[in-house]
């Protein structure tokens, strides 16, 4: 059985598939979703048509340069659900958030990725001849989009898709937007549950779930370990 922490990452590439229908959760009753579900106070459904939405992004808030987003990120469909509470700069771009999520879930950026938001789908470049090229043509460039634009309110959610056939989906919920603390490097992890993460060692979610221990969610998770892993992406926000 392969149960991996955020410090032990298997290599490989997945080829699985998940349901392409996305629910962006705009509220959650607590940060420990043992049932594998997020309790919804209100939600928005984002289907494949919505991924091509060209709704205009809002302007970058003036506070984005000195604020942080407190995010709860969870592996969609996994039961029990491993989740992490991350603090990231509100001014981080989506391609920067992509790097944070790759580190958080033990992936190595072997496949394409995208973010699905209420403003449409945003992603990074792909090889023109790859099997992802046609789908990627409908995406907008993620590199100039700030998190504060794509999810600028507490309670909003976005989805992160990773893999050639969207094998993996991470639900990202904005829990809070706060002023940055002086002298603190972000991103950092301040909590979580379930030590096991998929890494690149599983072909799809069903295989990951099948090989996990029943007590996976109760296994000890040290947020400081993940913060250490994220140190190379860290920056101190000037608050004065």
- List, for residues 130-151, the tens digit of each pLDDT value: 555 555 556 789 999 999 999 9
Burial of 21 (0-12, 13-18, 19+ CB in 10 A): exposed
Reduced to 3 states, what is the DSSP secondary structure of residue 233? helix
Residue 220, token pair as written in the block: 């000890």
- The pTM score is 0.79
Residue 165, token pair as written in the block: 């056939």
Beta carbons within 10 angstroms of residue 19's beta carbon: 10
Reduced to 3 states, what is the DSSP secondary structure of residue 178? strand
d(CA 125, CA 29): 36
Residue 51 has a pLDDT of 64
With beta carbons less than 8 A apart as the criterion, state whether 61 and 152 touch. Answer: yes
Residue 45 has a pLDDT of 36
d(CA 106, CA 101): 8
With beta carbons less than 8 A apart as the criterion, state whether 159 and 12 touch. Answer: no
Read off the pLDDT of residues 169-189 as tens digits, 9 standing for 90 and up: 999 999 999 999 999 999 999
Residue 195 has a pLDDT of 78
Q: Residues 106-109: contacts with CB within 8 Å, 24+ apart?
A: 106/4, 106/6, 106/8, 106/9, 106/10, 106/197, 106/198, 106/199, 106/200, 107/9, 107/162, 107/168, 107/198, 107/199, 107/200, 108/9, 108/11, 108/200
Q: Given its phi and psi angles, is residue 6 left (phi above 0), alpha (psi -120 to 50 degrees) or beta?
A: alpha
d(CA 193, CA 175): 16
DSSP state of 16: -
Domain residue extents for the chain: 22-236
With beta carbons less than 8 A apart as the criterion, state whether 13 and 159 touch. Answer: no
What is the domain class of 22-236 according to CATH?
alpha beta
Reduced to 3 states, what is the DSSP secondary structure of residue 154? coil
Segment 19-46 mean pLDDT: 35
Read off the pLDDT of residues 80-137 as tens digits, 9 standing for 90 and up: 889 999 999 999 999 999 999 999 999 999 889 999 999 999 998 765 555 555 555 5
């Amino acid at each position: 059985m392969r149960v991996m922490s955020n410090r032990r990452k298997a290599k490989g590439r997945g080829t699985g598939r998940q349901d392409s229908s996305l629910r962006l959760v705009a509220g959650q009753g607590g940060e420990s979703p043992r049932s594998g579900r997020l309790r919804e106070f209100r939600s928005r459904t984002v289907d494949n048509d919505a991924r091509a939405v060209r709704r205009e992004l809002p302007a970058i808030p003036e506070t984005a340069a000195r604020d942080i987003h407190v995010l709860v990120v969870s592996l969609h469909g996994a039961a029990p659900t491993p989740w992490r509470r991350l603090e990231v700069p509100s001014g981080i771009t989506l391609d920067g958030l992509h790097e944070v999520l790759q580190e958080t879930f033990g992936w190595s950026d072997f496949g394409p990725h995208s973010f699905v938001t209420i403003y449409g789908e945003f992603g990074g470049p792909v090889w023109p001849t790859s099997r992802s090229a046609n789908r990627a043509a409908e995406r907008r460039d993620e590199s100039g989009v700030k998190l504060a634009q794509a999810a600028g309110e507490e309670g909003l959610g976005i989805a992160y898709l990773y893999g050639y056939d969207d094998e993996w989906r991470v639900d990202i919920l904005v829990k809070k937007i706060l002023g940055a603390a002086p002298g603190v490097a972000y991103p950092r992890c301040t909590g979580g549950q379930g030590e096991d993460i998929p890494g690149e060692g599983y072909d799809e979610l069903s295989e990951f779930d099948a090989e996990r221990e029943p007590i996976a969610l109760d296994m000890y998770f040290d947020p400081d370990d993940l913060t250490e892993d994220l140190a190379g992406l860290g920056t101190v926000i000037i608050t004065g």
